[in-house]
Structure 1
Amino acid sequence: MSLGFEVDFLAVIGLVNQVRKSFAGAPEQFKAISDDVRGFSIVLQDIEASCTELGPEQAQEYQSVLTSCKDLLEQLKKTLENYACVAEAGKTGKRAAIKRVWKRLKWEPDDIRDIRSQISFKIATLKSLNDRVTSHSIAKLIRHQEDTEREATLKWISDINYVAQQNDIFLRCQIGSRRWLFESEIYLEWCKRKGSLLFCPGNAGTGKTFTTAMVVESLRLANDAETLTTYMYCTYQNHTQTIEKLLCSLLRIALEEADHEADETISTCKQLRSSNKNISRQYCLTLLQDLFSRFTRVNLIVDALDELTNEVRRPLIYDLLKLHEHSSVSLFVTSRGIPEIQHLFKGCEMYASLEVRSSDEDIRNFLRDNIFQLPNFVARSRKLQDEVIESVTNASAGMYVLGLIKWTLVGSALLTHSFFRFLLAELYLKSLTNMISVGSLRTRLSNLTTGSNAYDALYEDSMLRIGFQGPELEHIAVQMLLVLTCARRPLSPQELSHALSIDETSDAFDEDMIPDMDDLVAACTGLAVLDDTSNVVHLVHKSAAEYFERTSSRWFPRANEKMAFICLRYLQIAEVKPEETIGEQAPFFRYAKANWCYHSTESEKEAANDTAMGDASRTNSAAESGTSPNKIAITQLAIQQMMKEVVDVDSSIVEACHAGHHAWVEQLLVVRNYDMNIHGISQKTFISEDGSLIDSAIPTKRLRDNVLLTIAAARGDHSMALLLLERGADPNIFNAQGQTPLLIAAGNGFDNLT
């Protein structure tokens, strides 16, 4: 073993051992040297054990010292060998020869001291170097442990990884694009003015997210020690998102970007984690404000604010404005041009607005980088490539001109329509991938749809192309789009493929029936995307989700009924698996268990709507033509599942409320006719007749809350509170601590509940 040294480490140890053996039978005055050499051997063995990973500088230091050690040992060995050779030339026995060696070896006391001094110096040098390397290794181990704890704390704060998302999006950006932004006076002024707000509206497909990624990267590169740039990407894909989760995701990325300035805040979060306490909305804001106060300037970039639901978006905007006002945060926000959103920001000081748009140059660069997707006959012809690029660019530009006309007629920047250019260009390009001749390609290019219905027309075309693939591929593709449209949160590839392996005849898992995810995505003709960074599958864009929501009764009739059946049948099959391995062997299990009740409830609403509207609006689809699950079978499966899961209704509904499981709470309220006010305490218990508080009635020990409405108020769970109030919860109810929902909400700063 050389440990990366030019001088073989083991060879030096072997040389030490040879020299030690040469001192066998030495007179007393030479044994001191032998002992020193033995000490040499011990130090070298210690180094061999501890120095498994060395940096270049450390390896160089060892190399230098070992080389000098080797030279000294070889000199000592050579001296001993010279006298040994003289002795071996004689004819006497071995014992006499050894004696003659030591008699002939004349070392003066000063020479011995010099040899010993050199050996001692080498040993001391090696020990010092080894101590430094060992302490460095210990420090490295400590840092590794601290980094591991830090990473665990960050994941506890939020499981959303914006850093990976940012890196992935930026890698797909067109280098040199967005000059209309980076060279604009409005953006340059925003960069100069601390605490300013730049709102950038833009409709779907104009490249808002790519614009955001380029702004984030530009600001991060320009950061100094006094500047913090943090960011968040909003998404329509997670239907269970809450304001608390979003703020915690912002806290996590701020802590990651702040590096060592965040140590104190991370330490606070570690204590919360160890004490099993959650970070409330108000406390999260406090932590963010404290962290931001340590920097001279803070840039906060928020993308696609419009993709959040109103229940989440409004309190988030309120909190962003708090940070903007109290911490002088410079805000950069992208969103579709929704009047309500723009109105909330417009009242701020130092407000400016700049519309997100895409230039012809941006579109051409995008098409050039993706033209490889087209058939080989296009790849071989530069002329055809230029035709495709110009036709697609002009078609998407037609949408932009139409948007400008609408803007001119309306006369309001709030209603501007610089429509969809990047997304349209991508969809147009995908619609050309199946062309088989130059003629069919040019016909398709001449018929590219423009106008306000271009999106819907492209999605219609994609669905028609799915149908041309044959009945089996059509069925599985439509089923996949159904699941993606109905799912309450993003699904991983493993979850989705397992869900699609279940049908009415399934009574056990069959690995051979689980479809390949790449094949599934391909079958969806560009409507579904596999995101490797976040390991989720989702629809290509929010506009696609909105399209399928508008047309769900056409493409996915009784969608939630089918989802409920998939979940319930999956649970029935999966529950035979060992509990400790169920997550690996049955990836869809956790989603199915958490959401079967929701889909079952939604299917009842769908049935009611179908009865009211009739079947006139339906057309035959792959989802309709396939075998439909029997409603009675779903009901039976639902009852069986509920009987398994709910032994104690009271504790189950209280725990579900604490965990924020809305659908589970709603189903228990309906099916079991649960009295929400059963644990409420009378007002007379805490308030005397003269209106004063009865202190003795307040328990000294903190009790776990079991009143549903006060639980929802403590969590700041607006939608849960609305659900309970609609079902008859008493808004003036007291819990065992003598608190009312209003008192709890006001105390925690949950203004949206008060």
Structure 2
Amino acid sequence: MSFGFGVGDFIAIINQASKLRKAFVGAPSQCKELSDELRSLQSVIHDVDVDLSTTELNSHQRDDLTAITKCCRDTLTDIENVIKKYSAKESHSIRRIWRRATWDPDELRHLRDRVCVNVGNLNAFNGKLARIQISDVLMNMSDEQDQMCLDWLSSTDYATQQGEYSSLRQPGSGQWFLDSQLFHEWIKVPQQTLFCPGIPGAGKTIIVSTVIDELNNMYRDNPEVGIAYIYCDFQYIYHERQKVNFLLACIIRQLLQSMQKMTPGVLKMFNNHKSKGTRPSTKELSEALLSVTKAAQQVFIIIDALDELNDSKKILDEIFDLQVGEKVSLLATARFIPDIVARFQGMPLLEIQASRDDVSNYLSTSLEAMPYLSRKPGLHPEIIKGICDAVDGMFLLARLYLNSLSGKLSPKAIRTELRKLTNGSQTYDDAYDNTMQRIIDQKAVQTMALHVLAWVTCAKRPLTATELQHALAVELGEPHFDEDNLSDIEDLISICAGLITTTVDGTRNVIRLVHYTAQEYFEHKLVCWLPEPQQTIGTACITYISYEAFGTGSCLSDAEFEERLEKYPLYTYAARNWGYHVHDEPVADTLLLVFLLDQSKTDACGQAVFAQKGYVSHGDYSLDVPLGMTGLHLVAYFGLAEMAKVLLERRDWLSVTDSLDKTPFEWAATRGQDEIVKLFLDRGIDANYRGLGCRSPIALAASGGWISTIELLLDYGVEKGVPRQIQKMKSIEPLFGGQWRWIGLK
């Protein structure tokens, strides 16, 4: 390290923390949290140590790190003194006897808080290091406009995911892949494609993170080599970030960053669109990507989990076309999906399997961190061999099987469970069935665990940790949110027996299922334990947006809106998605009706549905959204026809408008809600109605591409004496620039 610290400074702290964690074995249960925080301290110090190896610090930064390091040493020394104070070693043994009667919980809590402060300070310092490194990478770019261009291209570069997966990797894991002849050929020979399929849970993502680290190490100081990678995710399969334009923009950004240069083609595209607030077409992005690859001597593109893309064909077409004339190498992983495998026919293939050494290494490390099993070192070889024999190259099964042993207290119980694993069918369904049985056996927390799994499985988008906490704290029938009902996120994860985990998505800490096989499993089997999960979620969402806090209606300023979002983290999700959950499984009419008839609360809900965060450079919410939305506006927006009938029986509010002068009928046409549109037309609404926006319902439906809605409106609004097919042509042709045939009309 260049600033005067030696590797030993950090190793000493890491070793001391490890020594103290081992000393806590057999200590009172209150010590577990302190032991866990010590593990976090070890991890973050290791991260700082790695980042410092490539970063130059100024005098102020050196002083800051010196002070933080001293605090860490002092805290660990005080913890060591407390251990000596409350325990003593047995004669001729390494075991400690704890004096539980004299244990002071406040003293322990104070020490834990000090460790947390040290972890927080180190994380903050590491964040500064990351910004320094990014700044160094971008230093050679021409000016501030280049950075603005990168931000405009994409806000995602997958660096956070890469860091997370790298941290999960055990030292030495994946070396078999890096040593393989096919991988060496892929590195050395330009324009190569290496397809790496594998069964679910084989460790494909960890191998990808290994490859990326290897490339970054090899070409760290070579600006003529571009490196870009994409981690596909089943939870975003219908999300904007899975579309080809998003992926191309992300690849361009990463290549420019790794090459530390900006190309004229990309700058031209940026200048053409930025001032207009528009986004580039696929063709423009393809041309820009071509300009970037031409500026490089070699380009590497890595895509993990192609099978988790909604349409992998488009991005593969783009890259394969690029390879024809440029030195672009592609490495991709996927399950054995026939359509995907066929795209790589005749190309080098290297199947990914969890090697026995990798699985054994993972199990050995994990056993040391498990409360009961860590205290039975004599059984570790037996456990490792039994699980390795059972999983047959499936990393995820190793994790699930290891978790299944966590509640076994005696050697006999552990061996009995190992025999079951060895004789099992080695399918994920069996492993998930066994895990669910463990959850069901937790009588005290069974219901809470099922609700956690319901939210994580059925939510319309990944939830943050805070959103999930609020979702589970909702009490039906209560008009106010009670923060005393919040559960610790660590406890929520724990009661789900390893089936959910946290991951970083941009700046958000989100909760997700451990693997896409778990998603597939619960989509079919969750109802076996929780019969109506969508109703459960829909009811909670409606209860949340019905709180008295929203009785004041919409917010009039960004500051007020931000304050509401901060106090009620589930507000946006509940407002934007309650209708979808209710559409899947109806909730109690009384609950829904009370909300829909409250104008102030539906107004507040409507604002949350449409308010969007502005550009990064601005940071404010755009409150230029429809206000004054009624209950009928909302049910028209979400397509809840039965509830629309109930509302219309209570009053005639078909013509009521929001602040954008849109009626519920216009919202139904805009959203392609055919059943609602038909309901309104049957009530006498004119199919050719034009509101103050001067756009006909057909034009509104056409703007969203709702072909069936257009046909429905034509059926109700055909001019007398004009053949229906001609009327269709007359009405639709102008909307689609004369290309009416492509929408299926004859």
Length-normalised TM-score, structure 2: 0.62
RCO (CA 8 Å, sep 6+): is it higher in 1 or 2?
1
- Residues 579, 374 of structure 1: alpha-carbon distance in 2 compared, 3 angstrom cutoff: closer
1:215 corresponds to which residue? Answer: 211
Which residues of 2 match residues 485-524 of structure 1 at below 5 A? 485-524=457-496
Q: Aligned AA for 1:477?
A: A
> Which of 582, 590, 593 is equivalent to 2:575?
593
Tell me if structure 1 keeps the 8 A contact 2:452–2:472. yes
2:380 maps to 1:393: no
Which residues of 2 match residues 531-542 of structure 1 at below 5 A? 531-532=503-504, 534=506, 535-542=509-516
- Residues 290, 149 of structure 1: alpha-carbon distance in 2 compared, 3 angstrom cutoff: closer
Question: Whole-Å Cα distance in 1 between the matches of residues 460 and 533 of structure 2?
Answer: 13
Q: Aligned AA for 1:175?
A: P
Return the offset for 1:239.
4.8
2:299 corresponds to which residue? Answer: 298
- Residues 431, 451 of structure 1: alpha-carbon distance in 2 compared, 3 angstrom cutoff: closer
> Which of 194, 199, 210 is equivalent to 2:195?
199
- Residues 211, 706 of structure 1: alpha-carbon distance in 2 compared, 3 angstrom cutoff: farther
Question: Whole-Å Cα distance in 1 between the matches of residues 350 and 449 of structure 2?
Answer: 39
Return the offset for 1:382.
3.2
Q: Aligned AA for 1:344?
A: R
Question: Whole-Å Cα distance in 2 between the matches of residues 328 and 461 of structure 1?
Answer: 49
**After the TM superposition, which of the residue ranges 379-388 and 264-273 deviates more from structure 2?**
264-273
> Which of 178, 182, 194 is equivalent to 2:178?
182
Query: What SS is found at the alignment partner of 1:356?
Result: coil
1:308 corresponds to which residue? Answer: 309
Question: Whole-Å Cα distance in 1 between the matches of residues 516 and 402 of structure 2?
Answer: 19
Return the offset for 1:56.
7.2
- Residues 449, 594 of structure 1: alpha-carbon distance in 2 compared, 3 angstrom cutoff: farther
Identity of aligned residues (%): 28
Which residues of 2 match residues 310-459 of structure 1 at below 5 A? 312-325=311-324, 327-346=326-345, 351-376=347-372, 378-397=373-392, 400=393, 421-448=394-421, 452=425, 454-459=427-432
CA shift digits 1:45-96 (9 cap, x unpaired): xxxxxxxxx9679xxxxxxxxxxxxxxxxxxxxxxxxxxxxxxxxxxxxxxx
Tell me if structure 2 keeps the 8 A contact 1:199–1:354. yes
Question: Whole-Å Cα distance in 2 between the matches of residues 752 and 301 of structure 1?
Answer: 38
2:635 maps to 1:643: no
Tell me if structure 2 keeps the 8 A contact 1:477–1:523. yes
Return the offset for 1:268.
4.1
Tell me if structure 2 keeps the 8 A contact 1:199–1:334. yes
- Residues 357, 708 of structure 1: alpha-carbon distance in 2 compared, 3 angstrom cutoff: farther
Return the offset for 1:396.
0.9
Which residues of 2 match residues 143-182 of structure 1 at below 5 A? 154-182=150-178
Question: Whole-Å Cα distance in 2 between the matches of residues 639 and 449 of structure 1?
Answer: 59
Tell me if structure 2 keeps the 8 A contact 1:240–1:489. no
1:229 corresponds to which residue? Answer: 227
Return the offset for 1:487.
1.0
Return the offset for 1:635.
5.6
Return the offset for 1:707.
2.8
Q: Aligned AA for 1:539?
A: L
Return the offset for 1:510.
1.2
Question: Whole-Å Cα distance in 2 between the matches of residues 465 and 671 of structure 1?
Answer: 49
**After the TM superposition, which of the residue ranges 174-183 and 501-510 deviates more from structure 2?**
174-183
Tell me if structure 1 keeps the 8 A contact 2:226–2:256. no
Q: Aligned AA for 1:483?
A: W
Return the offset for 1:670.
7.1
Flag the structure with larger Rg.
1
Question: Whole-Å Cα distance in 2 between the matches of residues 479 and 449 of structure 1?
Answer: 32
- Residues 258, 599 of structure 1: alpha-carbon distance in 2 compared, 3 angstrom cutoff: farther
Q: Aligned AA for 2:591?
A: A
Show structure 1 runs of 5+ residues with no match. Answer: 1-53, 58-138, 401-420, 605-628, 681-702, 714-720
Question: Whole-Å Cα distance in 2 between the matches of residues 482 and 331 of structure 1?
Answer: 38
1:466 corresponds to which residue? Answer: 439
CA shift digits 1:194-227 (9 cap, x unpaired): 2222111111110010011111111222223322
Query: What SS is found at the alignment partner of 1:231?
Result: strand
2:575 maps to 1:575: no
2:449 corresponds to which residue? Answer: 477
Question: Whole-Å Cα distance in 1 between the matches of residues 280 and 168 of structure 2?
Answer: 34
Which residues of 2 match residues 58-77 of structure 1 at below 5 A? none
Tell me if structure 1 keeps the 8 A contact 2:232–2:305. yes
- Residues 752, 571 of structure 1: alpha-carbon distance in 2 compared, 3 angstrom cutoff: farther
- Count, aligned residues: 530
1:565 corresponds to which residue? Answer: 539
Question: Whole-Å Cα distance in 2 between the matches of residues 555 and 380 of structure 1?
Answer: 34
CA shift digits 1:672-708 (9 cap, x unpaired): 569998599xxxxxxxxxxxxxxxxxxxxxx999834
> Which of 569, 576, 584 is equivalent to 2:566?
584
CA shift digits 1:652-677 (9 cap, x unpaired): 8999899xx97x86786577569998
Question: Whole-Å Cα distance in 1 between the matches of residues 250 and 350 of structure 2?
Answer: 27
Tell me if structure 2 keeps the 8 A contact 1:292–1:327. yes
- Residues 205, 637 of structure 1: alpha-carbon distance in 2 compared, 3 angstrom cutoff: same
Question: Whole-Å Cα distance in 2 between the matches of residues 332 and 599 of structure 1?
Answer: 39
Return the offset for 1:566.
1.9
Query: What SS is found at the alignment partner of 1:260?
Result: coil
1:86 corresponds to which residue? Answer: none
Tell me if structure 2 keeps the 8 A contact 1:570–1:589. yes
Tell me if structure 1 keeps the 8 A contact 2:390–2:426. no
Question: Whole-Å Cα distance in 1 between the matches of residues 688 and 425 of structure 2?
Answer: 55
- Residues 150, 333 of structure 1: alpha-carbon distance in 2 compared, 3 angstrom cutoff: same
Tell me if structure 1 keeps the 8 A contact 2:689–2:696. no
- Residues 144, 196 of structure 1: alpha-carbon distance in 2 compared, 3 angstrom cutoff: closer
Question: Whole-Å Cα distance in 1 between the matches of residues 737 and 534 of structure 2?
Answer: 33
Question: Whole-Å Cα distance in 1 between the matches of residues 744 and 58 of structure 2?
Answer: 56
Return the offset for 1:528.
0.7
CA shift digits 1:110-161 (9 cap, x unpaired): xxxxxxxxxxxxxxxxxxxxxxxxxxxxx99x97999887666544443434
- Residues 668, 278 of structure 1: alpha-carbon distance in 2 compared, 3 angstrom cutoff: farther
Query: What SS is found at the alignment partner of 1:485?
Result: helix
Q: Aligned AA for 1:389?
A: I
Question: Whole-Å Cα distance in 1 between the matches of residues 278 and 733 of structure 2?
Answer: 19
Return the offset for 1:260.
2.1
**After the TM superposition, which of the residue ranges 190-199 and 704-713 deviates more from structure 2?**
704-713
- Residues 517, 656 of structure 1: alpha-carbon distance in 2 compared, 3 angstrom cutoff: farther
Q: Aligned AA for 1:543?
A: T
**After the TM superposition, which of the residue ranges 452-461 and 204-213 deviates more from structure 2?**
452-461
Return the offset for 1:232.
0.3
Question: Whole-Å Cα distance in 1 between the matches of residues 492 and 530 of structure 2?
Answer: 17
Length-normalised TM-score, structure 1: 0.62
**After the TM superposition, which of the residue ranges 542-551 and 353-362 deviates more from structure 2?**
353-362
Question: Whole-Å Cα distance in 2 between the matches of residues 175 and 650 of structure 1?
Answer: 62
Return the offset for 1:166.
0.8
2:289 corresponds to which residue? Answer: 288
- Residues 673, 655 of structure 1: alpha-carbon distance in 2 compared, 3 angstrom cutoff: closer
Q: Aligned AA for 1:530?
A: T
Question: Whole-Å Cα distance in 1 between the matches of residues 164 and 744 of structure 2?
Answer: 35
Q: Aligned AA for 1:345?
A: F
- Residues 145, 357 of structure 1: alpha-carbon distance in 2 compared, 3 angstrom cutoff: closer
- Residues 334, 239 of structure 1: alpha-carbon distance in 2 compared, 3 angstrom cutoff: closer
2:519 corresponds to which residue? Answer: 545
2:588 maps to 1:630: yes
Return the offset for 1:326.
5.8
> Which of 558, 575, 584 is equivalent to 1:602?
584
Query: What SS is found at the alignment partner of 2:227?
Result: strand
Tell me if structure 1 keeps the 8 A contact 2:666–2:700. no
Question: Whole-Å Cα distance in 2 between the matches of residues 231 and 425 of structure 1?
Answer: 27
